[in-house]
Amino acid sequence: MKSKLFLSAALFAIPTAAMAAEAETDDGRTIIVTGKSEGYVAINSATATKTDTPLIDVPQSINVVTREQLDDQAQHSIADVLRYVPGTTVGQGEGNRDQITLRGQNTTADFFLDGVRDDVQYYRSLYNIERVEILKGPFALIFGRGGSGGIINRVQKTPSADALAIGGSASVNTFGAWDVSADINTPISGNAAFRLNANYESLDNHRDFFGGERYAINPYLAVDLGQWKLGLSYEYVNDDRVTDRGVPSIATAAGQPNRPITGYRDTFFGVPGVNRAGLEAHIIKARLDGELAENLNWSTTLLYGDYDKYYTNVFANGAATGQTGTVALSSYTDPTKRQNFIAQSNLVWDVNLGSIGNKILLGLEYGDQDSTNQRRNGTLSSSTLNLANIVYPTVTFGALARNTESNVQFFSAYAQDQISFGEHVDLVVGLRYDRFEIKGTDLIGTPRPFARTDEKVSPRVGLILKPQENISVYGSYSQSFLPRSGDQFLTMTATQQNLAPEKFTNYEIGAKWDIRPDLNVTLALFQLDRTNATTPDPNNVTATINIGETRTKGVELALTGRITPNWQMSGGYTYQDAKLRGNSFVRLGQVPKHQFALWNRYDFNEAVGAGVGVIHQSSQFAAIRTSATTTRLPAFTRVDAALFFNASENVQLQLNVENLLDEEYFSDAHNNNNITPGAPINSRFTVRVKF
């Protein structure tokens, strides 16, 4: 701990760059903001470059979902957000965590909070979030190691010294789920403010035996000291819910892919009272920003997180033998504790060298992450579930099957220059050095230590051509890596210790056009190559094999903003082709070739508005296809709708309808036999107040 405190003090003393932009209130007081937006359109972001940069000048695909869109769509989770972001696929996460696939790369850890790593496996809430930013493609220069299809960055709401503001909301849906939240911002003095966000959710859905609750509170203090700005945030999260891993598959014709079993949309393939997931988290974040000199800005962020999580589950462990046959079951319980300490420090210097403008970023990052993890396998009174007469078995958990402790320390140093050659040519170049060291012990039987150290340099080059101020054409090259301990670094086999890290290389060309300040369109063509890739061994489900190189190629098109003063739109289309190089039979899992999403809001007048949304996904494999019978999830199209009514200046009423046409579909999966049925038509009524 002494070394962590020493490093914290050192990084606070190092000149660093703000992850946020600075803005001034009407009376000239300075506050810290997290990017500029106009309705559904984000104008600036610090996510892709760690500097406040107009999105049109970012040589990479980035989707930003603003607070206004989050509210209009009544989104409550990361999964809700990403279903309307083509190019991302939501995974089931074994019913206990956020899990996503970006450009063919599956991850449980590439999540960030205000640009700082947030890699623990849990469900992230949106109650205290200003916007969600989805960066596509490898990202090591800015964020370090990862699964490298992209990252999800949540931008936290911050205090403002401008005025007292009190807001709150309450909602209930037709399944019986309900929630309440509060958002209170109060100036303490002319140069200090306090913000409190709090939320409680009672969870329910269409699935038998599902339920739970989640509550969280986030006080945040910000002080403006003139040339210096200090922010202190603490968040407490408590989440307790049923672990639901969906339904199994069933065989179709011989030699054809299995399909999800139908007719069991609500049926629970676990054991009531046993399947449970819980999380208690304490997250402390401190940030110090300052201006050292004209055009020389800095910030340091420290984050400490303490996470105590468990999940216990009984689940389908094989395909159903028939429509009314049997399904094999398996079970285990898995507790994890983790303490994260991360310090991040950056310096940004705006300097002109003759006619050439430079925005130079220099940064350091240090992390120390301690984890303990155990697993106990369950013994069931019956190892199968009879679909003709469902009787849930009892389960007991035996001796430890896994018991590990591990420590990860990483150090990073990076440099980036955003170079402007006049008004029409920009160049972004940078390098990052990462040293990743893992040490741990497998405590089962005779203790077996494991360790590995990787040192990697990750480059990034982006060229931006601007024929006019509101149009850019870009090309980008970037690399990232993922150590062999995976994205959760809980254990490492002797074989993994001898394998080089997985490497990700992304090539992307694209164009961005700000048709108006409040309306933009983007187009990107990309290729992501992954080398030293691993996958589960089809002949031994407990082992992995090195399969060589995968490639994901695709195109993305997005349109966001105001079509007319009364009509806002957010939509996009993505085509992806993800497979093993040299063997096109092997397709990557959870990557539909075609994805389309479109959300519209139209305001008839100042009081009444309506929304309609469409989500379409083509068929996808539930896991990497290594055999002819790998389960395929069928294509689906879902229609959503909303009504908005401003009862007064301070009160808004809102009705959202999900799956308006009552489509029967399968929304996501974890593997071939853990598949989530989509929810039937349901409604959510929301009341929002603000003063």
At 19 the pLDDT is: 35
480-498: average pLDDT:
79
CB count in 10 Å sphere of residue 227: 11
d(CA 71, CA 69) in angstroms, rounded, equals: 5
Number of H helices, E strands in the chain: 5, 44
Question: Is the per-residue pLDDT at 460 higher than 70?
Answer: yes
Which of 601 and 15 is assigned the larger pLDDT?
601
Residue 662: C-alpha distances to residues 525, 628, 659 (Å): 34, 31, 5
Encode pLDDT of 65-75 as tens digits. Answer: 999 999 999 99
Confidence of residue 546 (pLDDT cuts 50, 70, 90): low
Least confident residue range of 55-59, 142-146, 364-368, 673-677: 142-146
Q: Where are the beta strands (DSSP E) in 565-622?
A: 567-580, 583-587, 594-603, 608-617, 620-621
Q: Over 80: is that where the pLDDT of 247 sits?
A: yes
pLDDT above 50: residue 14 = no
State the pLDDT at residue 271: 97
- Please give the structure tokens belonging to residue 238: 């408590």
The band of 544, judged by pLDDT with boundaries at 50, 70 and 90, is low
The pLDDT tens digits for 131-179 are 999 999 878 888 988 877 899 999 999 999 889 999 999 999 999 999 9
Q: For 293, list phi and psi in degrees, rounded to 5.
A: -160, 175
**At 278, is the pLDDT very low, low, confident or very high (cuts 50, 70, 90)?**
very high
What Å distances lie between residue 633 and 258, 319, 531, 619, 630, CA to CA?
Answer: 9, 14, 27, 5, 10
Mean pLDDT throughout 66-94?
A: 95
CA max distance for the chain: 80
The answer to whether 569 touches 563, Cβ cutoff 8 Å, is yes
Looking at per-residue confidence, does 147 or 115 come out higher? 115
Q: What is the pLDDT of residue 17?
A: 31
> Dihedral sign, CA of 45, 49, 54, 58?
negative
- Please state, for a pLDDT cut of 70, what percent of the chain lies above it: 93
Residue 97, phi then psi, degrees to nearest 5: -165, 165
- Helical (H) or strand (E) element with 496: helix 494-497
Q: How many CB atoms lie within 10 A of CB 238?
A: 14
Distance CA 666, CA 662 (A): 12
Q: What is the pTM of this model?
A: 0.92
With tokens 């008839």, the residue in question is 604
| Residue 10 confidence (pLDDT) | 38
pLDDT-derived band at 274, boundaries 50, 70, 90: very high
> What does DSSP assign to residue 13?
H
Q: Where are the beta strands (DSSP E) in 443-539?
A: 448-468, 471-482, 502-516, 519-537
β-strand pairing of 150-156 with 111-113 = parallel
Residue 5 above 60 pLDDT?
A: no
DSSP at 94: G
330 pLDDT higher than 80:
yes
pLDDT surpassing 60 at residue 628: yes
Residue 8 in this model has a pLDDT that exceeds 70: no
Residue 683 has a pLDDT of 98
Span between the terminal Cα atoms of the chain, in Å: 44
136-145, 195-204, 391-400, 581-590: least confident range = 136-145
Q: pLDDT per residue over 678-690, tens digit each?
A: 999 999 999 999 9
**Domain residue extents for the chain:** 2-690
Q: At residue 182, what is the residue type? A: A
* Statement: residue 34 has pLDDT above 70: no
Looking at the predicted structure, is the pLDDT value of residue 516 above 80?
Answer: yes
- What is each CA distance from 325 to 6, 69, 100, 198, 383, in whole angstroms? 62, 45, 32, 47, 14
Query: Is the pLDDT confidence value at 547 over 80?
Result: no
Say how far apart CA 349 and CA 356 lie, in whole Å: 14
The tens digit of pLDDT for each residue in 116-135 reads 999 999 999 999 999 999 99
Q: What is the mean pLDDT of residues 563-582?
A: 95
Q: What is the pLDDT of residue 392?
A: 97
pLDDT surpassing 90 at residue 475: yes
- Residues β-bridged to residue 238: 215, 280
Residue 141 in 3-state DSSP?
helix
Please report the pLDDT score of residue 7 as a whole number: 39
User: Which residues, in sequence order, are CB contacts of 142 under 8 Å at separation 6+?
Assistant: 47, 48, 49, 50, 115, 414, 432
Amino acid letter for position 531 = T
- pLDDT(640) > 90: yes
The predicted model gives 231-246 an average pLDDT of: 97
pLDDT for the residue 490: 80
What's the topology of domain 2-690? Maltoporin; Chain A (2.40.170)
Using alpha carbons, select from 159, 231, 226, 229 the residue that is nearest to residue 193. Answer: 159
Cβ within 8 Å of residue 663, ≥6 positions away: 636, 637, 638, 639, 678
Confidence of residue 187 (pLDDT cuts 50, 70, 90): very high
H-helix or E-strand spanning residue 6: helix 2-13
Q: What integer pLDDT is reported at residue 3 of this predicted model?
A: 43
Average pLDDT of span 648-653: 96
Q: What mean pLDDT, rounded, does the chain reach?
A: 91
The predicted structure's pLDDT at residue 35? 61
